[in-house]
Structures are given as structure tokens and as C-alpha cells.
């Protein structure tokens, strides 16, 4: 008897450590590069975005307060979990991007390696972005980087997994919490990443994943008063302009989109984009 009934997977959002359906009850069809149906993904609404921001804000205190060492350990654990699910991600990336298994495998390997690379930054970023400042007075003056807060991330459209990892990992490693809008036409690797995050030691709410229309979700996130920064990697030029205008109203940090080769070494730009500098003056020689 080999004629089993097929068990189809219901992809869901990832908000606050839970897997809810969209509040709106909507879904949309996700197809591969040849327009064959793969799955239905939730079509998140602005209210899902609102809930995700609440979850991210709630998680921020604990995550930003955790020691850098602890954050690094947890992110490394995520990489371990990714490694265990490598085959699943290879299949999903191959479907989503219409590339060969070998090319997809190379992308997944690069993504896992990048996650490990960013995990290592957790207790090193302060040395790069902070330090002791020479001042003309009897003070010890030092600057230390602190996380910006809740970061909205529009994940890149063209690289459904490597690109996603490249924008999420640098934001959370420094202590931010994120609300991620997955690539609109290829959200499945992102939604599967949520399952990995849920089963590693990452506290619920640190990463919240939404799938749906980037423009529909980007607008409320950019205008949201309780979102501190937005990464526009997945927005096209027109949308990016609108979102930047909306974000200016509440002084969000904005990372503009640009042509990025996601397979190239990332550098520290994204890592340093969502940090605030705290400077302390301490009297000396008394």
C-alpha cells in the first residue's frame, strides 16, 4: 500500500514565538519559477504587522539585556538547527528561485556560514563601534553601542534565503528585535526559517515573520510610531521613497535599498546600521 494521502503543510506566520494564521484569514498562492503551485502562504494584514510590533517590543527588554555571549550562543544554536534542516531548505530555495539543486545547496551553505559569522560578532561589535575617546578634561570618556530597538525588515525579493539571513542576523545579533516581511513571491524558505527559530533557544518575539504583500505591510510598519528603524532591502525604488517619507515623520533610522550581491562577503554595514551610541563621561583622577 503506497498510495498514502498527501499531507500538505500549512504555512503560518511567526509572531511572538507562536504560529498564528493571518488575522485577516487570507492566504495567497505561492508558485515556483515555472508557475506551478507550491503552497498557500498567509497574506498578512496591517493588523498582523501591528501585533508583530507589539510582540517585538515585548521581547526587546529581555533580548537586548541578555549578555552578548549568550546572544552569540543562541544564534550559533540557530545555525546548528539550520544545518539539520539543510535538505529542506535546499529544496525550498531550488523551488523558489528556479535554480539547480547544486546552486541552491551552495546558497543554503553560504546562509548557514553567514549566520555563524554574524553570531561571532555578538561580543565583538562593541570593540568596533565603541571605545575610549580622548577628551580635553579630567574625564574618562567612553562610547558603547546599544541596539536601536524594534527594527522592521523588508527582506530582499531576489534572494529568498541567503538574502533573508543576511538582513535578519545582523539586526538581531546586536540586541534588536525584528519584524520581517518575507520576500513576496518566495516566502516559503522564510516561513520554514521560523520553525528553526522556534526550536532553537531564541526567545519568542525576537524575530517575527510575516508573509504577504511587501507594499501593504511596509506602509504601516514605516509609519508605526513604535518601530525604531526600517531596513528597506526588499522595497523597489518607488516604494522605498514612500516608506522613507512615512518613516521620516517619526525619525526612524532608515537603511536604503541598493544593489547588493548577497553572495559576496557582507562587511559590517548592516551590523552597524541599527545601533545607537551611548557616551559616558566619568570623572577621573579624584
- Tell the smallest beta-carbon distance from residue 142 to other proteins (Å): 27
- Tell the smallest beta-carbon distance from residue 230 to other proteins (Å): 13
Q: Using the minimum distance from each CB to other proteins, give the nearer residue, 218 or 266.
A: 218
Q: Using the minimum distance from each CB to other proteins, give the nearer residue, 146 or 195.
A: 146
Query: Is residue 99 helix, strand or coil?
Result: coil
Phi/psi at 252 (nearest 5 deg)? -70, 150
- Tell the smallest beta-carbon distance from residue 149 to other proteins (Å): 10
- Tell the smallest beta-carbon distance from residue 210 to other proteins (Å): 14
Q: Using the minimum distance from each CB to other proteins, give the nearer residue, 186 or 227.
A: 227
- Tell the smallest beta-carbon distance from residue 171 to other proteins (Å): 19
Q: Cell numbers of 55, please? A: 510582540
Q: Using the minimum distance from each CB to other proteins, give the nearer residue, 113 or 226.
A: 226
> Helix axis angle, 162-173 relative to 188-199, nearest 10°?
40
Q: Using the minimum distance from each CB to other proteins, give the nearer residue, 16 or 170.
A: 16
Q: Looking at the DSSP assignment, which residues form a beta bridge with residue 147?
A: 275
| Residue 79: HSE in the Cβ half-sphere, 13 Å Cα cutoff | 21
Cα-based distances in Å from 175 to 32, 131, 197: 35, 18, 16
- Tell the smallest beta-carbon distance from residue 50 to other proteins (Å): 5
Under 8 Å CB-to-CB from 159, ≥6 apart: which residues?
A: 97, 107, 166, 183, 262
| Burial profile 46-69: b = 16 or more Cβ within 10 angstroms, e = fewer | bebbbbbbbbbbebbeebbebebe
- Tell the smallest beta-carbon distance from residue 23 to other proteins (Å): 13
Q: Using the minimum distance from each CB to other proteins, give the nearer residue, 16 or 220.
A: 220
Which positions touch other proteins (CB under 8 A)? 50, 53, 57, 220, 223-227, 246, 249-250
Q: Using the minimum distance from each CB to other proteins, give the nearer residue, 57 or 256.
A: 57
Q: Using the minimum distance from each CB to other proteins, give the nearer residue, 243 or 271.
A: 243
CA dist., res. 38 & res. 211, Å (int): 15
- Tell the smallest beta-carbon distance from residue 254 to other proteins (Å): 16
| Helix boundaries (H) for 125-284 | 125-129, 162-173, 188-199, 214-223, 237-248, 269-273
Cα-based distances in Å from 146 to 52, 83, 128, 226, 275: 22, 30, 12, 17, 5
Amino acid at each position: 500500500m503506497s498510495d498514502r494521502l498527501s499531507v500538505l503543510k500549512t504555512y503560518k506566520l511567526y509572531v511572538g514565538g507562536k504560529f498564528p494564521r493571518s488575522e485577516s484569514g487570507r492566504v495567497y498562492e505561492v508558485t515556483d519559477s515555472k508557475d506551478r503551485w507550491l503552497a498557500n502562504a498567509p497574506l498578512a494584514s496591517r493588523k498582523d504587522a501591528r501585533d508583530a510590533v507589539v510582540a517585538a517590543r515585548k521581547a526587546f527588554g529581555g533580548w537586548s539585556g541578555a549578555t552578548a555571549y549568550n546572544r552569540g550562543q543562541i544564534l550559533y544554536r540557530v545555525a546548528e538547527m539550520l544545518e539539520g534542516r539543510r535538505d529542506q531548505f535546499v529544496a525550498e530555495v531550488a523551488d523558489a528561485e528556479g535554480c539547480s539543486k547544486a546552486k541552491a545547496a551552495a546558497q543554503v551553505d553560504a546562509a548557514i556560514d553567514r549566520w555563524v559569522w554574524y553570531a561571532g560578532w555578538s561580543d565583538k561589535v562593541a570593540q568596533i563601534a565603541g571605545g575610549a575617546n580622548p577628551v580635553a578634561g579630567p574625564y574618562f570618556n567612553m562610547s558603547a553601542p546599544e541596539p536601536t530597538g524594534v527594527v522592521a525588515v523588508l527582506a530582499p525579493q531576489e534572494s529568498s534565503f541567503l538574502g533573508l539571513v543576511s538582513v535578519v542576523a545582523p539586526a538581531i545579533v546586536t540586541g534588536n528585535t525584528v519584524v520581517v516581511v518575507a520576500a513576496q513571491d518566495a516566502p516559503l524558505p522564510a516561513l520554514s526559517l521560523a520553525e528553526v527559530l522556534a526550536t532553537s533557544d531564541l526567545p519568542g518575539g525576537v524575530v517575527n515573520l510575516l508573509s504577504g504583500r511587501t507594499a501593504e505591510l511596509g506602509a504601516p510598519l514605516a509609519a508605526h510610531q513604535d518601530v525604531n528603524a526600517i531596513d528597506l532591502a526588499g522595497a523597489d525604488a518607488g516604494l522605498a521613497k514612500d516608506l522613507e517619507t512615512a518613516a521620516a515623520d517619526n525619525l526612524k533610522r532608515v537603511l536604503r535599498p541598493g544593489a547588493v550581491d548577497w553572495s559576496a562577503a557582507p562587511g559590517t554595514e548592516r551590523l552597524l546600521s541599527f545601533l545607537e551610541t551611548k557616551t559616558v563621561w566619568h570623572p577621573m583622577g579624584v
